[in-house]
Structures are given as C-alpha cells and as structure tokens.
C-alpha cells in the first residue's frame, strides 16, 4: 500500500512510518518544510511539503495514495482547526473509494473510567472536548473506511510527553519526586511501537472500521510510575503531591487530564485484528529500559 502520513517527524508518527516501511508499504510523508522533508526522506519516506490547513493541497496528495494516517497536532488551541482541515481533505479524497483514513485519538475523551471500552460514554475534559465531533465526521462518511485508534499514554524509546513529565517532576527538600496528585489514579499506557503495529494492522485489514480503544492492559498508578521514574533519574524516591500542586505545575486544563483515573483492556483490537502488545510496560521501561539516565 501507498500510505499518506501526517506527523511523520513526531513521536508517534515516526514510529508508524518505520512500521509501515519495514512491512513493505510505501509512505508519503506530508511535512511543513524542507528540513522535515530531508528527515523523513533519510528514513525512507517520500516527502511532500504542504500546509496541512490547505485542504486542496492535502486532498491532492491523499488522492494519489491508497489511504492515509493523521497524527500531526500542534498541541494547542489550534488543534481542532488542523484536525478539521485534514478531515475535510480526507473526505474529499476518499469518500466513495472505500480507502482507509486513520486518525489518532486519546483515551482522555472518556474521562475517569477504569473499564474503558468502545461502548463507554464520552466524558471529555475541556482539553479534548472538541475531538468527538470531528471524529464522528470521519466515521460517518460511509464511502471511506474511517478508523479512530484511541491511544492510551504513549511511551517508549526514551520519548513521549508524559514520561518526560514524570522524569522532570519537581522534588521535595529531600530530593524525592513529587507525584501528580496523590498518585492513586491509574494511567492506561501503551508502547509506541505496539501502537504503530496497530495502525498497520488496521490499514491492512479491510474489515477494520470505527473506534478502537488501545492499551497494554497494565494500567499502573501514577505512584508506581513516579517511583519508577525516580529510579530512572537516581532520585531517592517519590512522594504524593496534591491536586492543587498539579494545577500549579501544569495549569488547570492539563492537570484535569493528568488526574483522570483510567484503565483499558483493548479487547476489540485483540479479538478482531489479533493485535497483541508485546513491549515492556512503562514501569519496567522507566526502571530498566530506555529512560534510565
């Protein structure tokens, strides 16, 4: 397959590009400048420098492919506008073709819930409240095979925003890392390479369609994760924080999602696509793997 990919220089997108290329697929990477074009080309993709807000230009690139994956995000207040523009281009290109369009989402849209599945009600915090409406447009376009992988906290290979947040936690006077909140909340987690494998399987399987909630099933507490992060950075240990400290550290909107209590099992992806996460969990990665300093 020839797959268009946005966000190919990002943490998740770069792993999806590698997974597709290593399994015999071609990747057309939509990038914003010549420097990014050189980066993705060196990794084996065909670059296309394009403004993702330019719907006609994006649609033209998409139309020359067998499907597309959208992972690019500015991670700020303009994220909804970018997603909407890319979805418009995908619908213009793929509606009526039956080609796949996979758009990444995140488990935060379900709010606090320790048994999240595809049937769970949406209860999004303000930070991600805009996502469902755009995702529904993807899934409601009957002539396009819409796929929305709903990822847990992505980690692995020493990267990822939330592992970085844990490793950079403030310290108490004794040097212990301070947890986000009390630390009793669970975070659903997923190694980025296992996430990339799911994207490939979903593109390859013509029956794959709809929401897929993804996680490795380990669902550690923030206390467990912060204690493991302390090992990675050679801190003496970790101590509970508070909701107020978390809000002061990262702001109200971001703290709201970090304080969610979540767990997933990913039964649908396992059963329908035979997807099996195989990489080490985040606690193990922090204690013994790619995050050790």
Q: Which pLDDT tens digit goes with each residue over 212-230?
A: 999 999 999 999 999 999 9
For position 77, what pLDDT does the model report?
Answer: 81
Residue 177, helix vs strand vs coil: strand
Cα–Cα distance measured from residue 255 to residue 273, given in angstroms and rounded to the nearest whole number? 34
Q: Collapsing DSSP states into helix, strand and coil, what is residue 30?
A: strand
CA separation for the pair 45, 29 (Å, rounded): 6
Helix ranges, the chain (H): 11-22, 34-42, 55-63, 79-94, 131-140, 161-167, 192-204, 222-232, 243-250, 252-258, 267-273, 282-288
DSSP lists the bridge partners of residue 46 as 28
Q: What is the residue whose two structure tokens read 């929401």?
A: 211
Q: How confident is the model at residue 76 (pLDDT cuts 50, 70, 90)?
A: confident
Closest CA to 185 of 240, 235, 231, 249: 240
**Token pair belonging to 209:** 């369609």
Average pLDDT over residues 68-96: 94
Q: What is the mean pLDDT of the chain?
A: 97
Token pair 């992988």 in the structure block, residue = 149
pLDDT tens, residue by residue, 146-189: 999 999 999 999 999 999 999 999 999 999 999 999 999 999 99
d(CA 221, CA 261): 9
Specify the pLDDT at position 135: 97
Q: Residue 197 has what pLDDT?
A: 98
Provide the 3-class DSSP secondary structure of residue 62. helix
Confidence at residue 293, expressed as pLDDT on a 0 to 100 scale: 78
Is the pLDDT at 41 greater than 90? The verdict is yes
Q: Mean per-residue pLDDT for 277-287?
A: 98
Residue 75 — very low, low, confident or very high, per pLDDT cuts 50/70/90? confident
Residue 256 pLDDT exceeds 90:
yes
Q: Closest by alpha carbon to 105, among 80, 145, 74, 135?
A: 135
Q: How confident is the model at residue 136 (pLDDT cuts 50, 70, 90)?
A: very high
- CA–CA distance, 278 with 256 (Å, rounded to integer): 30
Angle value at C-alpha 254, between 69 and 77, nearest 5 degrees:
55
């Amino acid at each position: 397959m020839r797959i268009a990919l946005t966000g190919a220089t990002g943490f998740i997108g770069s792993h999806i590009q590698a997974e597709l290329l290593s399994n015999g697929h071609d990747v057309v990477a939509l990038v914003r400048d010549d420097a990014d074009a050189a980066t993705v080309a060196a990794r084996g993709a065909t670059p296309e420098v394009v403004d993702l807000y330019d719907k006609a230009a994006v649609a033209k690139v998409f139309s020359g492919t067998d499907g597309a994956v959208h992972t690019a995000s500015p991670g700020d207040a303009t994220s909804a506008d970018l997603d909407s523009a890319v979805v418009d281009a995908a619908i213009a290109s793929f509606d009526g073709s039956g080609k796949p369009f996979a758009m990444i989402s995140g488990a935060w849209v379900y709010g606090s819930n320790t048994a999240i599945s595809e049937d769970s009600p949406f209860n999004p915090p303000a930070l991600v409240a805009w996502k469902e409406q755009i995702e529904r447009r993807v899934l409601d376009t009957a002539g396009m095979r819409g796929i929305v992988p709903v990822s847990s906290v992505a980690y692995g290979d020493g990267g990822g925003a939330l592992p970085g947040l844990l490793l950079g936690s403030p310290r108490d006077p004794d040097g212990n890392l301070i947890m986000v909140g009390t630390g009793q909340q669970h975070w659903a987690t997923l190694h980025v390479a296992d996430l990339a494998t799911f994207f490939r399987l979903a593109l390859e399987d013509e029956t794959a369609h709809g929401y897929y909630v993804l996680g490795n099933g380990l669902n550690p507490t923030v206390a467990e994760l912060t204690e493991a992060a302390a090992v990675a950075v050679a801190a003496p240990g970790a101590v509970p924080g508070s909701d107020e400290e978390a809000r002061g550290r990262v702001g109200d909107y971001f703290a709201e999602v970090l304080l969610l209590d979540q767990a997933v099992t990913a039964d649908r992806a396992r059963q329908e696509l035979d997807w099996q996460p195989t990489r080490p969990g985040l606690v193990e990665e922090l204690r013994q793997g790619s995050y050790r300093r």
